[in-house]
């Protein structure tokens, strides 16, 4: 419980400290138009790990570029992109459950009920994993408002 409170307080402090200093946020977490820091969204499902994509294998979905480790992954994505894109626009699922847009570490992920959830750090991801259903429920409730925030915690 103390660790959960520490993480929650830490996100709150980041909101106060950096909320006004963050870059303008988009509905999809991207850097230079590329989602998931260039990691392959399909690999989370097929290889069960974060795998860096290759710009030579890329697809644009809803105006955002996704990169893939292989042509096979690119083709799987193109058949059904909504199956592979991360929840909450690829922002930290724990942060969204707390009412904030936060960047992610591509290695901090959870797949639950066929959906990809990314988190700020592996520590935050472990906390998200302790009460995943409740966190998802709260994040689902918050996403409409959080998606409109113009700042992101980096």
What does the pLDDT look like over 39-56, one tens digit per residue?
A: 999 999 999 999 999 999
Over range 112-131, report the average pLDDT. 97
Q: How far apart are CA 12 and CA 24, in angstroms?
A: 19
Residue 55 lies in a domain: yes
| Among candidate residues 120, 116, 104, the one with its CA nearest the CA of residue 29 | 104
Token pair listed for 54: 């290759």
Q: How far apart are CA 147 and CA 91, in angstroms?
A: 9
- pLDDT attached to residue 44: 98
Residue 151 lies in a domain: no
State which residues form the domain around 57: 2-146
Task: Out of 9-13, 87-91, 150-154, pick the least confident.
Answer: 9-13
Residue 132 lies in a domain: yes
Residue 76 lies in a domain: yes
pLDDT at 2 over 90: no
Residue 154 lies in a domain: no
- pLDDT attached to residue 11: 55
- pLDDT attached to residue 17: 39
Q: How far apart are CA 106 and CA 122, in angstroms?
A: 9
pLDDT at 21 over 50: no
| Among candidate residues 106, 125, 128, the one with its CA nearest the CA of residue 47 | 106
- pLDDT attached to residue 26: 82
Residue 83 lies in a domain: yes
Residue 124 lies in a domain: yes
| Among candidate residues 51, 59, 150, the one with its CA nearest the CA of residue 109 | 51
Q: Whose structure tokens read 């991801």?
A: 125
Residue 153 lies in a domain: no
- Domains of the chain: total: 1
């Amino acid at each position: 419980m103390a660790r959960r409170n520490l993480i929650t307080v830490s996100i709150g402090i980041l909101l106060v400290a950096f909320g006004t200093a963050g870059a303008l946020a988009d509905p999809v977490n991207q850097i230079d138009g590329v989602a998931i820091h260039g990691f392959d969204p399909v690999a989370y499902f097929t290889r069960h790990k974060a795998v860096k994509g290759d710009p030579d294998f890329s697809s644009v979905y809803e105006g955002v570029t996704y990169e893939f480790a292989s042509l096979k992954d690119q083709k799987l994505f193109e058949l059904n992109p909504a199956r592979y894109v991360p929840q909450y626009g690829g922002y930290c699922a724990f942060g969204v459950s707390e009412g904030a847009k936060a960047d992610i570490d591509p290695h901090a992920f959870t797949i639950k009920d066929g959906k990809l959830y990314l988190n700020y750090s592996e520590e935050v991801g472990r906390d998200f994993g302790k009460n995943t259903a409740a966190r998802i429920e709260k994040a689902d409730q918050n996403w409409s408002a959080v998606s409109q925030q113009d700042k992101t915690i980096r």
